[in-house]
Protein backbone atom coordinates (compact mmCIF):
# COMPACT_ATOMS: atom_id res chain seq x y z
CA UNK A 1 0.00 0.00 0.00
CA UNK A 2 1.25 3.47 -0.84
CA UNK A 3 2.28 5.75 2.03
CA UNK A 4 0.22 8.92 2.63
CA UNK A 5 3.03 10.97 1.04
CA UNK A 6 3.03 8.79 -2.08
CA UNK A 7 -0.77 8.86 -2.22
CA UNK A 8 -0.57 12.66 -2.31
CA UNK A 9 1.60 12.43 -5.43
CA UNK A 10 -1.31 10.87 -7.31
CA UNK A 11 -4.11 13.13 -6.09
CA UNK A 12 -6.11 14.89 -8.84
CA UNK A 13 -4.29 17.72 -10.59
CA UNK A 14 -6.04 21.08 -10.69
CA UNK A 15 -6.52 23.08 -13.90
CA UNK A 16 -5.54 25.28 -15.66
CA UNK A 17 -1.86 24.25 -15.43
CA UNK A 18 -2.47 20.49 -15.51
CA UNK A 19 0.55 19.68 -17.66
CA UNK A 20 2.97 21.84 -15.70
CA UNK A 21 1.64 20.72 -12.32
CA UNK A 22 1.91 17.06 -13.35
CA UNK A 23 5.54 17.58 -14.34
CA UNK A 24 6.19 19.48 -11.12
CA UNK A 25 4.53 16.95 -8.85
CA UNK A 26 6.09 13.83 -10.37
CA UNK A 27 9.50 15.46 -10.74
CA UNK A 28 9.47 16.56 -7.10
CA UNK A 29 8.35 13.13 -5.91
CA UNK A 30 11.19 11.48 -7.82
CA UNK A 31 13.75 13.99 -6.59
CA UNK A 32 12.66 13.50 -2.98
CA UNK A 33 12.71 9.71 -3.29
CA UNK A 34 8.95 9.28 -2.79
CA UNK A 35 9.03 7.44 -6.10
CA UNK A 36 12.20 5.33 -5.71
CA UNK A 37 14.75 4.71 -8.45
CA UNK A 38 13.67 1.79 -10.62
CA UNK A 39 10.05 1.82 -9.46
CA UNK A 40 7.30 1.59 -12.06
CA UNK A 41 4.56 4.18 -12.43
CA UNK A 42 0.95 2.99 -12.66
CA UNK A 43 -0.29 2.18 -16.18
CA UNK A 44 -1.09 5.24 -18.27
CA UNK A 45 -4.87 4.79 -18.20
CA UNK A 46 -4.90 4.33 -14.41
CA UNK A 47 -2.50 7.22 -13.78
CA UNK A 48 -4.50 9.61 -15.98
CA UNK A 49 -7.67 8.62 -14.12
CA UNK A 50 -6.08 9.13 -10.70
CA UNK A 51 -4.69 12.52 -11.66
CA UNK A 52 -7.94 13.39 -13.50
CA UNK A 53 -6.13 14.61 -16.58
CA UNK A 54 -6.36 13.57 -20.21
CA UNK A 55 -4.08 10.83 -21.46
CA UNK A 56 -2.59 13.23 -24.02
CA UNK A 57 -1.63 15.67 -21.25
CA UNK A 58 -0.18 12.81 -19.22
CA UNK A 59 1.86 11.60 -22.19
CA UNK A 60 3.31 15.09 -22.67
CA UNK A 61 4.24 15.29 -18.99
CA UNK A 62 5.84 11.83 -19.02
CA UNK A 63 7.76 12.66 -22.21
CA UNK A 64 9.09 15.79 -20.54
CA UNK A 65 10.29 13.79 -17.53
CA UNK A 66 11.89 11.17 -19.77
CA UNK A 67 13.77 13.90 -21.64
CA UNK A 68 14.90 15.47 -18.36
CA UNK A 69 16.30 12.16 -17.08
CA UNK A 70 13.73 11.53 -14.34
CA UNK A 71 11.91 8.66 -16.08
CA UNK A 72 12.67 5.86 -18.52
CA UNK A 73 10.06 4.46 -20.95
CA UNK A 74 10.46 0.79 -21.91
CA UNK A 75 8.47 -1.02 -24.57
CA UNK A 76 7.40 -4.62 -24.88
CA UNK A 77 5.54 -7.09 -22.69
CA UNK A 78 7.51 -6.07 -19.60
CA UNK A 79 7.58 -2.42 -20.56
CA UNK A 80 6.15 0.63 -18.89
CA UNK A 81 7.34 3.89 -17.40
CA UNK A 82 9.98 3.59 -14.69
CA UNK A 83 11.87 6.00 -12.47
CA UNK A 84 15.43 6.26 -13.79
CA UNK A 85 18.12 4.29 -11.99
CA UNK A 86 19.97 7.52 -11.24
CA UNK A 87 17.34 10.28 -11.27
CA UNK A 88 18.07 13.85 -10.16
CA UNK A 89 17.76 13.75 -6.37
CA UNK A 90 17.26 16.59 -3.93
CA UNK A 91 20.36 17.74 -2.13
CA UNK A 92 20.14 18.76 1.48
CA UNK A 93 18.42 22.11 1.75
CA UNK A 94 17.81 22.53 -1.98
CA UNK A 95 14.02 22.82 -1.57
CA UNK A 96 14.45 25.53 1.07
CA UNK A 97 16.93 27.29 -1.19
CA UNK A 98 14.38 27.26 -3.98
CA UNK A 99 11.73 28.68 -1.69
CA UNK A 100 13.99 31.47 -0.50
CA UNK A 101 15.67 32.37 -3.78
CA UNK A 102 12.83 31.81 -6.21
CA UNK A 103 9.73 32.83 -4.31
CA UNK A 104 10.62 36.50 -4.09
CA UNK A 105 11.64 36.56 -7.77
CA UNK A 106 8.48 34.76 -8.88
CA UNK A 107 6.27 37.03 -6.76
CA UNK A 108 7.95 40.10 -8.17
CA UNK A 109 7.54 38.70 -11.66
CA UNK A 110 3.80 38.25 -11.14
CA UNK A 111 3.40 41.89 -10.14
CA UNK A 112 5.53 43.25 -12.98
CA UNK A 113 4.22 40.99 -15.75
CA UNK A 114 0.57 41.38 -14.74
CA UNK A 115 0.90 45.16 -14.57
CA UNK A 116 2.73 45.27 -17.89
CA UNK A 117 0.01 43.14 -19.47
CA UNK A 118 -2.75 45.47 -18.26
CA UNK A 119 -1.03 48.51 -19.73
CA UNK A 120 -0.02 46.67 -22.91
CA UNK A 121 -3.66 45.82 -23.58
CA UNK A 122 -4.52 49.50 -23.18
CA UNK A 123 -1.56 51.01 -25.05
CA UNK A 124 -0.01 48.55 -27.53
CA UNK A 125 0.13 49.78 -31.12
CA UNK A 126 0.66 47.80 -34.32
CA UNK A 127 4.44 48.13 -34.11
CA UNK A 128 4.39 46.66 -30.60
CA UNK A 129 2.23 43.75 -31.73
CA UNK A 130 4.49 43.13 -34.71
CA UNK A 131 7.56 42.91 -32.44
CA UNK A 132 5.80 40.47 -30.12
CA UNK A 133 4.66 38.32 -33.05
CA UNK A 134 8.19 38.27 -34.44
CA UNK A 135 9.46 36.88 -31.12
CA UNK A 136 6.75 34.22 -31.10
CA UNK A 137 7.55 33.19 -34.67
CA UNK A 138 11.25 32.97 -33.83
CA UNK A 139 10.55 30.64 -30.89
CA UNK A 140 8.22 28.53 -33.05
CA UNK A 141 11.12 27.74 -35.39
CA UNK A 142 12.50 25.42 -32.66
CA UNK A 143 15.88 27.12 -32.46
CA UNK A 144 18.63 26.20 -30.02
CA UNK A 145 17.82 26.68 -26.35
CA UNK A 146 20.01 29.79 -26.21
CA UNK A 147 18.21 31.37 -29.19
CA UNK A 148 14.83 30.38 -27.78
CA UNK A 149 15.62 31.94 -24.43
CA UNK A 150 16.81 35.16 -26.04
CA UNK A 151 13.54 35.41 -27.96
CA UNK A 152 11.60 34.51 -24.82
CA UNK A 153 13.26 37.28 -22.82
CA UNK A 154 12.75 39.66 -25.72
CA UNK A 155 9.04 38.77 -25.80
CA UNK A 156 8.47 39.55 -22.13
CA UNK A 157 10.47 42.76 -22.37
CA UNK A 158 8.37 43.50 -25.44
CA UNK A 159 5.21 43.28 -23.34
CA UNK A 160 6.68 45.94 -21.06
CA UNK A 161 7.68 48.03 -24.08
CA UNK A 162 4.08 47.80 -25.24
CA UNK A 163 3.03 49.37 -21.92
CA UNK A 164 5.05 52.48 -22.87
CA UNK A 165 6.33 52.95 -19.32
CA UNK A 166 10.11 53.41 -18.96
CA UNK A 167 10.19 52.48 -15.25
CA UNK A 168 8.13 49.35 -15.87
CA UNK A 169 10.46 48.42 -18.71
CA UNK A 170 13.48 48.73 -16.40
CA UNK A 171 11.78 46.55 -13.81
CA UNK A 172 10.90 43.90 -16.41
CA UNK A 173 14.49 43.82 -17.65
CA UNK A 174 15.78 43.28 -14.12
CA UNK A 175 13.32 40.52 -13.26
CA UNK A 176 14.02 38.71 -16.54
CA UNK A 177 17.71 38.72 -15.63
CA UNK A 178 16.91 37.11 -12.28
CA UNK A 179 14.60 34.58 -13.94
CA UNK A 180 17.35 33.57 -16.34
CA UNK A 181 19.51 32.51 -13.39
CA UNK A 182 16.71 30.27 -12.09
CA UNK A 183 15.76 28.85 -15.48
CA UNK A 184 19.38 27.90 -16.17
CA UNK A 185 19.02 25.30 -13.39
CA UNK A 186 16.47 23.15 -15.25
CA UNK A 187 16.42 21.10 -18.43
CA UNK A 188 14.44 22.43 -21.41
CA UNK A 189 12.44 19.69 -23.19
CA UNK A 190 10.87 20.78 -26.48
CA UNK A 191 7.33 20.07 -25.30
CA UNK A 192 7.73 22.57 -22.46
CA UNK A 193 9.09 25.26 -24.77
CA UNK A 194 6.39 24.78 -27.39
CA UNK A 195 3.57 24.84 -24.83
CA UNK A 196 5.02 28.01 -23.39
CA UNK A 197 5.17 29.61 -26.81
CA UNK A 198 1.57 28.65 -27.54
CA UNK A 199 0.67 30.81 -24.55
CA UNK A 200 2.81 33.63 -25.93
CA UNK A 201 0.88 33.53 -29.20
CA UNK A 202 -2.48 33.53 -27.43
CA UNK A 203 -1.37 36.46 -25.29
CA UNK A 204 -0.52 38.55 -28.35
CA UNK A 205 -4.00 37.92 -29.72
CA UNK A 206 -5.63 38.90 -26.43
CA UNK A 207 -3.60 42.11 -26.34
CA UNK A 208 -4.67 42.79 -29.92
CA UNK A 209 -8.32 42.26 -28.93
CA UNK A 210 -7.95 44.57 -25.88
CA UNK A 211 -9.14 41.74 -23.61
CA UNK A 212 -7.59 42.76 -20.29
CA UNK A 213 -9.17 40.11 -18.08
CA UNK A 214 -8.22 37.11 -20.20
CA UNK A 215 -4.79 38.49 -20.99
CA UNK A 216 -3.92 38.91 -17.31
CA UNK A 217 -5.29 35.46 -16.45
CA UNK A 218 -3.24 33.90 -19.22
CA UNK A 219 -0.09 35.69 -18.09
CA UNK A 220 -0.71 34.48 -14.55
CA UNK A 221 -1.15 30.91 -15.78
CA UNK A 222 2.02 31.27 -17.86
CA UNK A 223 4.04 32.32 -14.81
CA UNK A 224 2.46 29.65 -12.61
CA UNK A 225 3.33 27.02 -15.21
CA UNK A 226 6.95 28.16 -15.17
CA UNK A 227 6.95 27.77 -11.39
CA UNK A 228 5.68 24.18 -11.60
CA UNK A 229 8.26 23.29 -14.24
CA UNK A 230 11.04 24.98 -12.26
CA UNK A 231 10.20 22.98 -9.14
CA UNK A 232 9.68 19.71 -11.01
CA UNK A 233 12.84 19.78 -13.13
CA UNK A 234 15.18 21.51 -10.69
CA UNK A 235 18.71 20.20 -10.80
CA UNK A 236 20.96 20.18 -7.80
CATH of 94-232, one of 3.30.310.50, 1.10.260.40, 3.20.20.120, 1.20.120.530: 1.20.120.530
pLDDT at 218: 97
Residues 112, 171 contacting (CB under 8 angstroms): yes
Q: Which CATH class is domain 4-83?
A: mainly alpha
Please write the tens of the pLDDT for every residue from 131-149.
Answer: 999 999 999 998 899 999 9
Q: Name the strand (E) or helix (H) holding 72.
A: strand 71-74
Please write the tens of the pLDDT for every residue from 156-177.
Answer: 999 999 999 999 999 999 999 9
- H-helix segments, 34-165: 44-51, 55-67, 94-123, 126-140, 145-162
Q: DSSP letter at 171?
A: H
Domain boundaries, the chain: 4-83, 94-232
Q: How confident is the model at residue 92 (pLDDT cuts 50, 70, 90)?
A: very low
Amino acid sequence: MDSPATEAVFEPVQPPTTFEETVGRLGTAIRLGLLPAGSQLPPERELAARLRISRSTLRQALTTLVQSGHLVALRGRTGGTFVADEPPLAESGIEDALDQAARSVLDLRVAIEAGATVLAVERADEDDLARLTECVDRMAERPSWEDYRRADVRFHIGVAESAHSPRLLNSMTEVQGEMSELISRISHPDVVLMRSNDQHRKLVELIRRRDTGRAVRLMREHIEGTEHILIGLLRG
